[in-house]
Chains A and B, each alone.
Chain A
Amino acid sequence: MPKMNMIQAINLALHEEMEKDETVLVMGQDVGVNGGVFRATEGLSVKFGKERAIDTPLAESGIIGSAIGMAIAGLKPVAEIQFSGFSYLTLGQLEGNAARMRTRSRGQFTCPLVMRMPYGGGVRALEHHSESKETYWAHTAGLKVVIPSSPRNARALLTAAIRDPDPVIFMEPKHSYRAFKEEVPEKKETMEIGKAEIVREGSDLTLVSWGAMFHLTKKVVDQIQSERKVSIELIDLLTISPMDSATINASVRKTGRCVIVQEAQKTLGPASEIIARINDEVLMYLEAPVKRVSGYDVVMPYFGREKMYLPTMERIRRAIEETLEF
């Protein structure tokens, strides 16, 4: 099995799906000849031509609007937005057209498109170049929101997203693009969208995270488990919407304790919804209040102070310890 980083894994999924299905194409600013600012689409224009690796003008609303039209017309566009902060310009199109297409047409039309974009902090950019606004999309019925955390699941989930008959917002934690390599099977692999993954089983506490935060969280868990005897169940959420509360709630029912780590700002981040669903179904099994570690309700700070925004190992550790000792 070859080892690759997340960018290479994403590139692999795009190659594979474009090879397999000639209706699949990529489009966006700099994605063709240049291979994308993060190089996710490298080589596609050479292999599949400019008709299927389409360089577009700078026009986010127009890119996504035309992707929607292409999807209705029978193609499967995978549109790239250079940074998630520029995707807000597409909200009108996605929310006004893509998300409602199936309902409006009573199932006659679907909108099989993917909007891929790097998101999140830790790369010393700021504001639009570093935010985690998965909630914007998850708050719209009809859009699926997927966030991989590793090369292997990025490849598998992107493949699933491209094959999915509904519009998928695919948010790539740019901090993890080149952070580490992992073995990615040569054989094609997909994962089910809408399913969280229990990465490690445990009995004392449920830890839920996703994206770049998943690794930080895992590090803290490793640290704590090397120091004391405690069994932590680690869940990688992977799909923000539709949310797999069945997996989370079954875990919480078993452990009685739960900590959620998100990079998004605190108010109405995905953690709020996870807690609400725990409350709906397994409240009586809780031994301690559910804690969340998150960003703050502020504009993402400039590089000198970025660390103040992002959850740290210390904050995660404190939340775990307080929940265990409650």
Chain B
Amino acid sequence: MYSEEVLKKLYADMILVRLSEESLVEPILSGDVKCPVHLYSGQEAVAAGIGAVLNEKDSAFGTHRSHGHYLVKGGSVKEMIAEIHGKSTGCSKGRGGSMHLYAPDKGFLGAAPIVAGTISLAVGAGMASSIRKDGTVAVSFFGDGAVGEGVLYESLNLAALRKLPVIFVCENNLYSTHLHISEIRPNDEIYKIAEPFGITSFRVDGNDVLEVYEAAEKAVEQCRNNNGPVFIETLTYRMRGHVGPDDNIQGTHTDIRPAAEVEDWRQKDPIERLKKYLLENGVADVEELDLIEREIQQEINEAYVFTNDSQLPPKSELEKYVFSK
């Protein structure tokens, strides 16, 4: 059975991610946020379930769609919202934006927009852990689209060869940009790509946070016991467009997903599912869950006040951070 503490943390983490994602819809539409922003709504169970088994010393690496990964790893919501608005108080000092989130003191060692671009970095972090024998685990989050990139296979090979403590988490949301997985892969069983390397691999329901959590627990345990890497494919779905709230690229509505499919997945909303579980099992009552939600909403509101009070990076610092000096 899951402890009450874990269950409530999973719930709160998913709410935090969902509410902060949805809070961005308005600023994106109004133009306050101008850069490409890839929302994570719908996939919260993956980040929350994996995040719950990690500690600050463990590292995690993300993608272009990484607000959720950053937040569950302990990244500050204030600094994330400020970052997305390009403010100097953001987690990357307003220089990185939505796709370049970092929280080094929490072990979130970076998101980057190059698809598959951070997978090998997680392997490097796993290598560092194994050389130092410090018992930490490195997690690499990536999408189904990233499975087309060659560097994934190079990374799997190296991690398996050196038995590195790396958890590869593929978030299969069935689409990469506007292509359905059936158009870019001969089969849709992504987890099987790791098998020839001798890597423990399995597929879970990525909209069931408890299933993700259990898989993650097993995976970290295997890694911490030096039994080599694990590959977890999580089946999930994004409820928003590829980029921005409704995929409006260059003024054309381009979300090609069938409405019935979207609706189908809406029925599998990970937050609603956990909520039902908590209520049915008497872990929490409605008031308590509402309170959690209100407190988180309050935190997000404060993040916007903080962001509005913050400045853009000073003009004088354009050339700062290119080199150490």
Are B95 and A34 touching (Cβ within 8 A)? no
Of residues 194 through 215 on chain B, the ones whose CB sits less than 8 Å from some CB of chain A are none
For the complex, would chain A's binding face be called helix, strand, loop or mixed by DSSP majority?
A: loop
Which residue of B36, B178, B254, B313 is within 8 Å of A304 (Cβ)?
B313
CB distance from A234 to the nearest CB of B (A): 29
Assess whether B158 is interfacial by the CB under 8 Å rule: no
Given contact pairs A58-B176, A298-B322, A303-B35, A39 touches B250 in the complex (Cβ within 8 A):
yes
How many residues of A are counted as interface, with CB atoms below 8 angstroms from the partner's CB atoms? 38
Given contact pairs A302-B86, A305-B86, A37 touches B249 in the complex (Cβ within 8 A):
yes
Bound-complex Cα distance A58 to B117 (A) = 12
Given contact pairs A55-B183, A59-B149, A127-B113, A303 touches B249 in the complex (Cβ within 8 A):
no
Bound-complex Cα distance A126 to B113 (A) = 10
Are A303 and B177 touching (Cβ within 8 A)? no
Are B97 and A305 touching (Cβ within 8 A)? no
Are A308 and B250 touching (Cβ within 8 A)? no
Q: Residue-by-residue, is A272-310 near B (CB-CB < 8 Å gives 1, otherwise 0)?
A: 000000000000000000000000111101111100110
Chain B residues near A298 (CB-CB < 8 A): 318-319, 322
Are B148 and A129 touching (Cβ within 8 A)? no
For the complex, would chain B's binding face be called helix, strand, loop or mixed by DSSP majority?
A: loop
Chain B residues near A129 (CB-CB < 8 A): 35-36, 113
Are A59 and B178 touching (Cβ within 8 A)? no
Chain B residues near A178 (CB-CB < 8 A): 250
Bound-complex Cα distance A86 to B183 (A) = 21
> 4 tightest A-B contacts by CB?
A57-B148, A304-B86, A124-B34, A57-B184
Bound-complex Cα distance A212 to B116 (A) = 30
Are A296 and B177 touching (Cβ within 8 A)? no
CB distance from A266 to the nearest CB of B (A): 11
Closest to B177 in A: A30
Are B318 and A59 touching (Cβ within 8 A)? no
CB distance from B234 to the nearest CB of A (A): 18
Which residue of B95, B113, B319 is within 8 Å of A297 (Cβ)?
B319
| Residue positions of B touching A, CB distance < 8 A | 34-36, 85-87, 94-97, 99-100, 113-116, 145-146, 148-150, 176-179, 183-185, 249-250, 252, 254, 256, 312-313, 315, 318-319, 322
Chain A residues near B254 (CB-CB < 8 A): 34
Assess whether A135 is interfacial by the CB under 8 Å rule: no
Bound-complex Cα distance A315 to B6 (A) = 58
Bound-complex Cα distance A178 to B251 (A) = 11
Which residue of A59, A89, A125, A296 is within 8 Å of B36 (Cβ)?
A125
Bound-complex Cα distance A303 to B34 (A) = 7
Closest to B150 in A: A61
Chain A residues near B97 (CB-CB < 8 A): 126, 302-303
Chain B residues near A140 (CB-CB < 8 A): none
Are A29 and B177 touching (Cβ within 8 A)? yes
Are A38 and B250 touching (Cβ within 8 A)? yes
Total cross-chain contacts (CB, 8 A): 108
Q: Residue-by-residue, is A69-91 near B (CB-CB < 8 Å gives 1, otherwise 0)?
A: 00000000000001001100100
Given contact pairs A57-B185, A62-B150, A124-B34, A302 touches B177 in the complex (Cβ within 8 A):
no
Are B177 and A56 touching (Cβ within 8 A)? no
Are B315 and A58 touching (Cβ within 8 A)? no
CB distance from B93 to the nearest CB of A (A): 10
Are A55 and B179 touching (Cβ within 8 A)? yes
Are A302 and B150 touching (Cβ within 8 A)? no
Q: Residue-by-residue, is A94-137 near B (CB-CB < 8 Å gives 1, otherwise 0)?
A: 00000000000000000000000000000011111100000000
Given contact pairs A34-B254, A127-B113, A303-B35, A309 touches B318 in the complex (Cβ within 8 A):
yes
Chain A residues near B99 (CB-CB < 8 A): 126
Chain A residues near B100 (CB-CB < 8 A): 126-127
Using A29-B179, A34-B256, A57-B184 as known contacts, list a sample of 14 further A-B pairs with CB atoms less than 8 Å apart, ordered by residue number in A: A29-B177, A33-B178, A34-B177, A34-B254, A55-B184, A58-B148, A125-B35, A129-B113, A178-B250, A296-B318, A297-B322, A301-B318, A303-B34, A308-B315
Bound-complex Cα distance A177 to B251 (A) = 13
Bound-complex Cα distance A34 to B256 (A) = 8
Given contact pairs A34-B254, A86-B114, A302-B97, A58 touches B319 in the complex (Cβ within 8 A):
no
Bound-complex Cα distance A239 to B275 (A) = 60
Chain B residues near A309 (CB-CB < 8 A): 318
Which residue of B95, B183, B184, B249 is within 8 Å of A302 (Cβ)?
B95
Are B145 and A58 touching (Cβ within 8 A)? yes
Are A305 and B312 touching (Cβ within 8 A)? yes
Chain B residues near A126 (CB-CB < 8 A): 35, 96-97, 99-100
Bound-complex Cα distance A124 to B35 (A) = 6
Chain A residues near B146 (CB-CB < 8 A): 58
Which residue of A33, A125, A299 is within 8 Å of B322 (Cβ)?
A299
Bound-complex Cα distance A177 to B252 (A) = 14
Bound-complex Cα distance A304 to B176 (A) = 28
Chain A residues near B149 (CB-CB < 8 A): 58-61, 89
CB distance from B287 to the nearest CB of A (A): 41
